[in-house]
Structure 1
Amino acid sequence: MAGIGTEKVFENDKVVVWNCSLAPGEYSSLHTHEHEYMWYAIEGALLQVFDEDGNDLGTFDVPTGAFYSFKLDNGYIEVLSENGKGARVPATHRARNVGTTPYREVLVEYK
């Protein structure tokens, strides 16, 4: 399975830091989150999320400057932060930028 982000920029015994970017219309790779994590949206966009079978799980408006925090719970990730609080999606998924502008985030996984 592919990496969580577009490019791994740092890793130590506590965290892994990823750059993630999606051009309009671009899909992320199918990936599985194995650690709790957070991300900061450098450039926000509309992201459509799909499970590993390609089922549409919904579209989420990720604003520029938004911070998201997630926990793992029995094969699902749950949003802890105010933006999207309580939303759950499978830990294995992919996303598509369905907005009209590029999407960029920095994601930090906690080991």
Structure 2
Amino acid sequence: MHNSSKPPNQNSVDSSAIGTRLLFENERVRVWDLALEPGETLPLHRHELDYLYVVIGGGTLQTGFVDGTADEPRQMGDGEVRFREVTSTGGEQRATHSATNVGDSPWRNIVVELKRL
């Protein structure tokens, strides 16, 4: 884990670590657990598959990008679900990002990547 709110250098982009722990994988889906302590960052990574995530417990997350910019922090509630179609969410700029827990409590979500058949 990277512990800065600034996204790492583009040379460190990893498309194999979408979460902090791989829970399940088959020919159709890949399921990740993403758990971040307050102030902790999931390093810059690239989404190559459409995905959805389910927030567990709620919290505040901030997304950082390759160019050093970041979205405004987003507060999300327990059970909130978001779907991201990688090809339609801003291209490479949005598909490659870091995620920082900027809240006061642990952040957790489950990410489900949808493999192309």
TM-score, with normalisation over the residues of structure 2? 0.78
Aligned residue for 2:98? 94
- Structure 1 residue 74: Cα displacement: 5.7
What one-letter code is carried by the residue in structure 2 that aligns with 1:11? E
1:103 paired to 2:84: no
Secondary structure of the equivalent of 2:48? coil
RMSD between aligned residues: 1.7
Give 1:73 deviation, angstroms.
2.1
2:49 paired residue number = 35
2:42 & 2:28 partners in 1: Cα distance?
A: 25
The aligned amino acid for 2:43 is S
Q: Secondary structure at the match of 1:18?
A: strand
Q: Which consecutive segments of 4 or more residues in structure 1 shift more than 4 A?
A: none
What secondary structure, in the 3-state scheme, does the structure 1 residue paired with 2:73 have?
A: strand
How many equivalent residue pairs? 100
| Counterpart code for 1:105 | N
Q: Which of the two has greater helix per residue?
A: 2
* % identity of equivalent residues: 37
Tell me the TM-score normalized by structure 1.
0.82
- Hey, what does 1:11 align to over in structure 2? 25
Q: How far apart, CA to CA, are the structure 1 residues paired with 2:61 and 2:50?
A: 20
Displacement of 1:103: 0.5
Q: Aligned residue for 2:40?
A: 26
Q: Which has the higher strand share?
A: 1
Unpaired stretches in structure 1, ≥5 consecutive residues = 78-88
User: Greater CA deviation, 18-27 or 57-66?
Assistant: 57-66
- The aligned residue for residue 45 of structure 1 is 59
